Structure 1
Amino acid sequence: MALGIIEPKTSAQLPGTEHLVDTAQTSGEHQYEHAHFKHGKGKVGSRVIRWVQLIDNLFQKQDIVLVPQPSVDPNDPLLWPVWKREVAFAVLFFNSIIFAACPGPMIAPATVALATQLEVPVKKVAQLSGYQLLIVGALGPIVSVLAEKYGKRPQFLLASLFGALGTGICMAGFDQSSLPKSYTVLLAGRMIQGLGTTAYESLAVAAIGDMFFLHQRGIRTSLLVLTTACLASFVAICAGHIFEVRGARNLFVILLPLQLFGFVCSFLFIPETQFRRNERQGSVVTEQDGITVDEKAEASTHSVTQESAVSTAKSTTPKRTFAQDLRLTSGVYNHDSILKLLGRIFVHLLNPAIVWITLVAAILISFFVGTAYTLAQIFSPPPYLLTVSQNGYFFTGALLGGILGVISGPLCDFSAKTLSRRNRGVFEAEFRIPVNILAVTMLSIGWFTFMWALERPLLKGGVYLCSFCYGAVCFGTSVAGTSTGLYILDAFRPYATEIFILQMMIKNFLFYAFSTFINEFAAEHGPANMCKVWGIITVCGFVTCLPMYILGKVNRSWVHRMYVKYLGDK
């Protein structure tokens, strides 16, 4: 029983259980077994990316075993030069902002004002975002299948293209001859924008797993989670002021050139990250003399001379050139039919871990986003009387909460390494779960204090307190999203793309559902009651973290057998 985690009745090594840290016990008992594994370096690499390396090495020493172990293929994304991996991640991060984070909250502060301008009910304006997210959720499985079959690069390129096209259509919506036609064109543009959101919202985290080792994923995953929370709030702050000063059309005028720039960058700097490797090779005892791993890939080969060392291996695969990386597709990665690949996505609904991440991640984010639909409705009328710009500034709390939430990535990595050392160097995927204690604490403070403040609308400084509470919710949501995302990457790495797509689909269906009733719910029952309901459901949802931690490894054992039976072992 490893630190409270119940061991399954199987001798097979499970995905998500890895030797991560060399300890004194390891050196004494398994010295020769792990000596040949490639380890992380404890020093800072290139000066150009010094800041990234400093973060990676903050809690890192040379006793960190690289998981997964890199292959001998020079085209393995784990062996790309550091600059190439970091530039690809930077473009993914930037595009996740402009294609996934920007479109939704752009009109959130102006919900009431835009409804007046278009002469439609407030609910209709909320549905401009709701239908967009419905498209994102509905297309999720299709994007997953295409990524599984043809790779992630084509999906990122198509998403960038459709995102820019949708923004152009939204611009045209404000030039129509009648208000009903303006709303229709605007709705069409928002739905096409949704085509540009799907890939970046669902495949970006999986791409991190393709390019980076287990101990490097935390900070980068938290940065991507940042785009849906913190940076979406920053967009709302800017959008409120721009709407009031320049009008709604200019929101899209400003966004379009950024998206065109993102499309060019994705074409030039996001190569195909899909790579077929032996997912268990990090636990297999092999010796590969003569393999040199670029220092910039942060791997070092530890040679051993004992007779148990296995045969040597060298790669004969030529390294792809920059021009070859620009190909739209790198071939077919899976020869199964599209219908079969589509059907297997929903097999993951039988995995209890998926139910768990839905409770502590998808539903929490839907509460956060759903509440954003109502903020202008709450604070525009008396006694608050906030303008469109002031409604945008309200999101400052969420912005700060999201920025602070970035610490969840290094915190997840630190706790994983610390618990692994206490577990004699063995990492369990469940070591990602304990940080949710911080998440549920901040979420409880946020929702219940928000409720208290809204019950006292004449409270001096009430708007500032409410903004702080919304920031606490954003922080807790960021921590929970990072923790669950890393858990999926660690425990179910071969199926991460499909699982993230499924989670994204559920989350966006919830977003759409909220857009159909949340405004009426807040008006009828009061915004304070809404926050109380969200707080109670949140606390109840996080109770599931305890059985998930204790029984998570048993669940992984059962799920692994199920996946072997129904999906085929990857």
Structure 2
Amino acid sequence: MPYHHEDEFNSSDITAPHRYPIKTLGHVRLQDETGATLLVPQPSSDPNDPLNWSKAFKVYIAVLTCAALTWVNFFAAGPSTVLVEIVIDIFGAYPPDPRNPASLSLASIAAFTSGVSKAALLFSTTSVAAGMSNILWVPLAVKYGRRVVYTFSFLAFGLCCIWSARATSYGSLLASRIIASWFSGSAECIAPMTIADIFFLHERGRMTAMYSAALSTGAALGSLISGAMSVSQSWRSFHYLCAALVLATTVLIFFTMPETAYQRDISGTEERTTADTKEAANVSQVEHVEESNTPPKKSFTQRMAFTHSPLTNESIWKIASRPVPVLLLPPVLWSTVSFGIGIGIFVILGTTAATAFSQVYNFTVWQVGLVWIASIVGNLLGIPFGGYFSDWVANRATSKNGGVREPEMRLPAVSIAMFAYPGSLLLYGLGINYKTHWIVPTLVSFGSSAAIGISVVYTIDCYRPIAGEVVVSQVVFKSVITFLMSFYANPWVDRDGYAGAFAAMASFSFVILALWIPIYIWGKQIRRATFKWRVVQLAHWDADRETGE
């Protein structure tokens, strides 16, 4: 890859060591002359700076935000396992059953078919609502802070879960789930923003891998729990469980999660080197220490207060409209498509699994739920490969590049997912088609989780000051793809069969993920050239959005 150490001093965008970097597009110095890791962004001397929080507390915040994200898809997709029970309860329509002659009449079959079509909207619309809601939530989080958006949206989310549990009509249930998903969607974008707020560049890959695993695990965990509960509980009990989990998380957010957005003073700093014994890696780090007096540490009440003053001078409208030109940036576009197909195809798996495993393997509802254990394990395995491995790959390339980091340096880690994810889709399609042992089609999700984590953190590295808007463009596109795939999945499988449909998905996934190779080679030139496009200039950010990388 044609990276050169001297490039750092040939661009006006990259500053000398004693100047704060502005619009670097991810081109930053991450190691000093001795090979010691530098802190990027460099923390202030303010004890209230989230970058100065203890490592244990940072990890706790990351786990809390990922738990909140898990409940989004836990609620959205979980009840799909008991779709038939919902149709029976809400519409009074029963599936055709030879033991019940009345259910075999044309009118009964038509009523059941209509009920299933309507019930499917209970799940497809939630994805769209969650994704689209970030057009509102992210501008508010950028302007007024993450904490207030998290607390308000999840409180409303939890109350809507109770509404869903108590709904007695289709209209009420549909409205409750759409509104609940609108409020829950805040976690999809604010979670990676929070991770970027509190972790340094060299730590970001492993933490963003947790985000992608939580995003994918929620649906699988919800389906597993919903299926297990169907043995002795109704679908309403599952919604009460969602309410309990969401409201408990809201309480933890309110009492234990301070504001993570921080306004940095980018002037008046000097550089010094210290040894940080708290870092697991035990590396030397460079930090900027403000020349002004160090502020006192805030009390618990002050830390848990909501932000009253705006965090940026940018207007809500400018922040809300930025995802449109941002999506035109090739790194964001590639990452967005990778994100979209990863989650979208996972939705197809969820849409077809109940039918496939019941017809081919004669699985009951709760047994179909147990199938998702493999998906959960696969997503968890994606954390070390999409996180620690990608950080190791990027840090190794940084050392070879004289200590200068480029965002593309972590992309070779995609090579594992490039083969693993399409391979898992082939196992599913061919396994179902040829009626192999049931364990064969369950080996999915590992590659998807790893690819999503790497692609998301890559775009955050490229455009860190507008990380929120970047993730909005990805999440909104993902929600649209998911919605469309939920409609066309079953007709596609009916037309081409499991082998044909999933072979096509595997091929498409491989081609998209393989694009990391040209992006790795020419990504730096592409980033700089496209950032100067006239339409992309609408996405340029104000100086008060700079974070120091």
| TM-score tier after normalising by the smaller chain length | 0.7 to 0.9
Match of residue 548 from structure 1: 519
Match of residue 12 from structure 1: 13
> What is the 5 A alignment of 1:33-44?
none
CA RMSD of aligned residues (A): 2.9
Task: Give yes or no for contact 2:157–2:183 (8 Å, CA) kept in 1.
Answer: yes
Separation (CA, whole Å) in 2 of partners of 1:545 and 1:522: 29
Separation (CA, whole Å) in 2 of partners of 1:239 and 1:417: 42
Match of residue 161 from structure 1: 155
Residues 86, 443 of structure 1: alpha-carbon distance in 2 compared, 3 angstrom cutoff:
closer
Instruction: Indicate the SS of the match to 2:338.
Output: helix
> What is the 5 A alignment of 1:318-337?
318-337=296-315
How far 1:311 moved relative to its partner? 10
Residues 393, 161 of structure 1: alpha-carbon distance in 2 compared, 3 angstrom cutoff:
same
1:251 aligned to which of 238, 243, 248: 238
Task: Give yes or no for contact 1:127–1:516 (8 Å, CA) kept in 2.
Answer: no
Aligned pair 1:402/2:379, yes or no?
yes
1:487 aligned to which of 455, 458, 468: 458
Task: Give yes or no for contact 2:37–2:284 (8 Å, CA) kept in 1.
Answer: no
Match of residue 111 from structure 2: none
Give the number of aligned pairs.
507
Match of residue 261 from structure 1: 248
Counterpart of 2:79, as a letter, is: I
Counterpart of 1:447, as a letter, is: L
Separation (CA, whole Å) in 1 of partners of 2:285 and 2:473: 38
Separation (CA, whole Å) in 1 of partners of 2:125 and 2:467: 26
Show CA shifts across 1:315-369 (max 9, x none).
3433322101222324211233322322223120221111110222222221112
Q: Normalising by structure 2, what TM-score?
A: 0.85
Aligned pair 1:199/2:174, yes or no?
no
Aligned pair 1:221/2:208, yes or no?
yes
Counterpart of 2:429, as a letter, is: M
How far 1:278 moved relative to its partner? 6.5
Aligned pair 1:109/2:81, yes or no?
yes
Aligned-residue sequence identity (percent) comes to 25
Instruction: Indicate the SS of the match to 1:286.
Output: strand
Aligned pair 1:77/2:66, yes or no?
no
Match of residue 473 from structure 2: 502
Match of residue 440 from structure 2: 465
How far 1:69 moved relative to its partner? 0.9
Residues 453, 424 of structure 1: alpha-carbon distance in 2 compared, 3 angstrom cutoff:
same
2:423 aligned to which of 442, 445, 455: 445
Residues 278, 195 of structure 1: alpha-carbon distance in 2 compared, 3 angstrom cutoff:
same
Instruction: Indicate the SS of the match to 2:439.
Output: helix
How far 1:454 moved relative to its partner? 2.4
> What is the 5 A alignment of 1:269-284?
269-277=256-264
Q: Normalising by structure 1, what TM-score?
A: 0.82
Match of residue 46 from structure 1: none
Match of residue 40 from structure 1: none
How far 1:389 moved relative to its partner? 0.5
Counterpart of 2:249, as a letter, is: G
Task: Give yes or no for contact 1:92–1:200 (8 Å, CA) kept in 2.
Answer: yes
Instruction: Indicate the SS of the match to 1:433.
Output: helix
Match of residue 37 from structure 2: 64
Separation (CA, whole Å) in 2 of partners of 1:530 and 1:477: 18
Counterpart of 1:241, as a letter, is: A
Match of residue 101 from structure 2: none
How far 1:113 moved relative to its partner? 4.2
Match of residue 61 from structure 2: 88
Counterpart of 1:273, as a letter, is: T
How far 1:302 moved relative to its partner? 6.3
Separation (CA, whole Å) in 2 of partners of 1:477 and 1:301: 34
Counterpart of 1:74, as a letter, is: P
Structure 2 gaps, min length 5 = 15-23, 94-113, 544-549
Separation (CA, whole Å) in 1 of partners of 2:413 and 2:306: 40
Task: Give yes or no for contact 1:79–1:293 (8 Å, CA) kept in 2.
Answer: no
Instruction: Indicate the SS of the match to 1:406.
Output: helix
Counterpart of 1:19, as a letter, is: R
Separation (CA, whole Å) in 1 of partners of 2:88 and 2:498: 22
Show CA shifts across 1:514-564 (max 9, x none).
223323333343233221221121112123211111111112223444566
Query: Which shows bigger deviation, 1-10 or 478-487?
Result: 1-10
